[in-house]
Amino acid sequence: MSAAVKAKECVDRSQVGNQSCFRNERVNNFKFEMTPNWRLPDQGIFEFDFVYLLERPTIEQETPQEEIVSLLEWFEATYEHLKQFIDPKNKDEGHAQIGRILGESFRGIAEYFVFSADQLTSLVDLINEENWKFEVFMAGIGRLWDQ
């Protein structure tokens, strides 16, 4: 969202000027201000009481399904490639690390897409790893429009 806000293509509707689509965020019952580098703790509860969804985009603004399919294929292929480097003695940590890396990669490009709920769901469900699912949801929800 930050590139679009800076280019004045959209307005920052966040509560505190941090370009977050969430309001009144809390982790483990502690209020905090979300930043682009914020990461969810390994354990706990993330809460919010408001999320801003995009207005329905014009046909020109919608991300074509072919681009979403390409994105899914790239992330899936990259995940499969990176799995070969996981130490068999530390499989869980290896999968978590790949999830973090790919999740942060997705976070870096998400603002250039507009997702339908179905498209975002397919991205979240692509890789069965908690870090991936959380990062994709967090980055994608701010780029979501409801059908």
pLDDT in tens, 92-139: 999 999 998 998 899 889 888 988 888 999 999 998 888 888 888 888
pTM score, whole prediction = 0.69
On whether both 91 and 140 belong to a single domain, the answer is yes
On whether both 74 and 110 belong to a single domain, the answer is yes
Residue 35 to residue 68: CA distance in whole angstroms: 26
On whether both 95 and 119 belong to a single domain, the answer is yes
On whether both 112 and 69 belong to a single domain, the answer is yes
On whether both 31 and 3 belong to a single domain, the answer is yes
pLDDT-derived band at 5 (thresholds 50, 70, 90) equals: very low
The residues, ordered by sequence, that sit 6+ positions from 63 with a Cβ below 8 Å of its Cβ are 113, 114, 115, 119
**Full residue range of the structural domain in which residue 99 is found:** 61-147
On whether both 111 and 140 belong to a single domain, the answer is yes
On whether both 93 and 137 belong to a single domain, the answer is yes
On whether both 3 and 21 belong to a single domain, the answer is yes
On whether both 25 and 73 belong to a single domain, the answer is no
pLDDT in tens, 9-50: 556 665 666 566 666 677 788 887 777 677 767 777 777 776
| Integer angstrom CA distances of residue 61 from 4, 12, 56, 57, 58 | 12, 18, 9, 5, 5
Q: Which two tokens stand for residue 47?
A: 């809460």
Domain count, the chain: 2
